[in-house]
Amino acid sequence: MNPHTQNAPGITGLILAGGRGSRMGGVDKGLQNFRGLPLALQTLMRLQLQSLPPQEILINANRNLAAYESLGVPVWPDSIDGFAGPLAGFLTGLERCETPLLLTVPCDSPLLPLDLVERLCTALQEQDADLAMAAAPETDGTVRPQPVFCLLKAELLESLVKFTQSGGRKIDAWTGQHRCAIVPFDQSGDSPQAFANANTLAELQQLESL
């Protein structure tokens, strides 16, 4: 165990399942099956298997709340109306978070790294940052930040309330206001598919065959 994470502050995990699923024909993405289980449940299990698991896990969803609640964790819809995107999910998570840190992950990346929390937490502490964000290699070899895989200090709530109340919706416009540690997942043992996500049913079938 990394000395930085040995005495890590408490972490709440948040699964972002609040989107419209428009590229999937409007279906509720987190409830689509992946290897026989809903995507949101696969993601939940990946969080429970982390080398540094969150103490509590929440789901942010705006439809089919009963189906999400049946996965056994608290479910909270956006506090901003109108499917306002991932930042609305961040806001909901920060409002409900009772730990010093909030981890966000999307519901459609069921192969996320099992050391995600630990590596984000280490970078956050080593760089004395406000948030830490994963970055993953694209097919062309460039390593690109993945802003929805984020570890945030709970004290950022006030800043995000201000940003969203003034109409801000873009993640990078908000994260750019804070000290952000970027954590590349491009080491030799890292799976190139770890951050692969399913936006369409075809991509979901492709992921299943990996």
Give the chain's largest Cα–Cα span.
Answer: 46
| pLDDT tens, position by position, 10-41 | 999 999 998 777 677 778 899 999 999 999 99
Burial 66-83 (b: 16+ CB within 10 A, else e): eebeebebebbbbbbeee
* Residue 57 main-chain phi, psi, to 5 deg: -125, 135
| pLDDT tens, position by position, 170-203 | 999 999 999 999 999 999 999 988 999 888 888 8
Return all residues near 152 (Cβ < 8 A) that are at least 6 apart: 90, 94, 101, 102, 103, 104, 130, 131
| Full set of structural domains in the chain with CATH | 3-208 (3.90.550.10)
Would you say the C-alpha torsion 88, 67, 209, 110 has a positive or negative sign?
Answer: positive
Mean pLDDT of the region 142-163: 96
Please report where in the chains the tokens 């908000």 appear, as a residue.
174
